[in-house]
Amino acid sequence: MADVAHLTGLEVIAVQDGRRLGAVSECVVQLSSGRVLGIVLRTPGGEDRAVARDSIMALGPDVVTIRSAECLSAPEDIEGLPECRPSAAAAPLLVITDGGRRLGVLGGVYLDDTRARVAAFEVDMGAWEGLADGEAVLPLCEGIVHGRDAVVVPESAVATIQRKGGVGSRVVAGASTALSAARAAGSAIGAWVGRLRRAPTPQASVSPADEAVSPGRRVPIQ
């Protein structure tokens, strides 16, 4: 999956004439449909322009390509983009369930491998919980409402939240690895002890001189 934040700063090139049109400042998505609505770019003259997703040829790893400069328009002219475009001064969108539970605020958004649709998004549940349990990632599902002030998800979607990283998961993973290593070491030691027990005990050889002076025997005087 690709984080839409990684698109920020990429050059936008028109393939018709190879002209640089600006750099991506935002990638606007709609979580209710999973669609990429378009990108907003800052032109060399400092103007904000937008390109609808249908006019984008590729959201590449290094460059965004569009057909021509004629695809540029005002951000408010692209359907759905003004409603889903976050304001720089606005607080992060709340993420709540339709059952009235507050999950956190909207974090990163991830596109699928084709970069054509949204695959999942992060729910920031707070610094301490994120540190302990890792980032909460919610796969896109049916029934999501992407509003101006909040993202509303079905209560049933909470069970699909996945965790990435976190101190707690690393501690559990480390403990599991250490336990497996201890078990392997114990098995190796047990096998070694078993071989020692099965091995025949060597008999000590006694030389004639030792036999002559061993306790309980009288040595004849010549």
Q: Give the residue with greater pLDDT, 161 vs 200.
A: 161
Q: Answer for the pair 137, 163: CB distance below 8 angstroms, yes or no.
A: yes
Confidence of residue 126 (pLDDT cuts 50, 70, 90): confident
pLDDT value at position 59? Answer: 94
Quick one: 157 and 125 in the same domain? yes
Residues 121 and 157 in one domain: yes
User: Taking a C-beta distance cutoff of 8 angstroms, is the pair 34, 45 a contact?
Assistant: no
Same-domain status, 72 and 116: no
pLDDT digits (tens, 9 = 90+) for 36-94: 999 999 999 999 999 999 999 999 999 999 999 999 999 999 999 998 987 766 788 99
The verdict on residue 27 lying in a domain is yes
- Lowest mean pLDDT of 34-38, 112-116, 146-150, name the range: 112-116
183 has a pLDDT exceeding 80: no
CATH number for the domain that contains residue 136: 2.30.30
Query: Could you tell me if 10 and 70 lie in one domain?
Result: yes
Same-domain status, 42 and 101: no
* Separation of alpha carbons 29 and 35, rounded Å: 6
pLDDT of residue 88: 67
SS3 60: coil
Domain end marker among 84, 110, 141: 84
Single-letter residue type at 62: D
CB atoms within 10 A of CB 28: 23
Per-state percent for the chain, helix, strand, coil, to nearest 5 = 30, 35, 35
Same domain, yes or no, for 9 and 80? yes
- Helical segments of 37-118, H only: 81-84
Q: How many domains does the chain have?
A: 2
Closest CA to 71 of 87, 47, 89, 50: 50
206 or 18: which carries more pLDDT confidence? 18
**Whether residue 9 has pLDDT greater than 80:** yes
- Whether the pLDDT of residue 12 is over 60: the answer is yes
In the predicted structure, residue 132 carries a pLDDT above the cut 50: no
Q: What is the pTM of this model?
A: 0.68
Given this model, what pLDDT does residue 102 score?
Answer: 96
Concatenated DSSP letters for 115-154? SSBEEEEEEE--HHHHHHH-EEEEE--TT-EE-SSEEEE-
Higher pLDDT, 60 or 185: 60
Pairing of strands 150-153, 145-146: antiparallel
Last residue of a domain, one of 151, 168, 185: 168
Give the residue numbers spanning the domain of 109: 94-168
Query: What is the per-residue pLDDT across 196-220, written as a single tens digit (0 to 9) for each?
Result: 776 666 665 555 555 555 555 555 5
- Predicted confidence (pLDDT) at residue 19 exceeds the cutoff of 80: yes
Instruction: Output the average pLDDT for the chain.
Output: 83
Average pLDDT over residues 14-31: 96
Cα angle value 15/21/23 (rounded, 5°): 115
Last residue of a domain, one of 63, 84, 105: 84
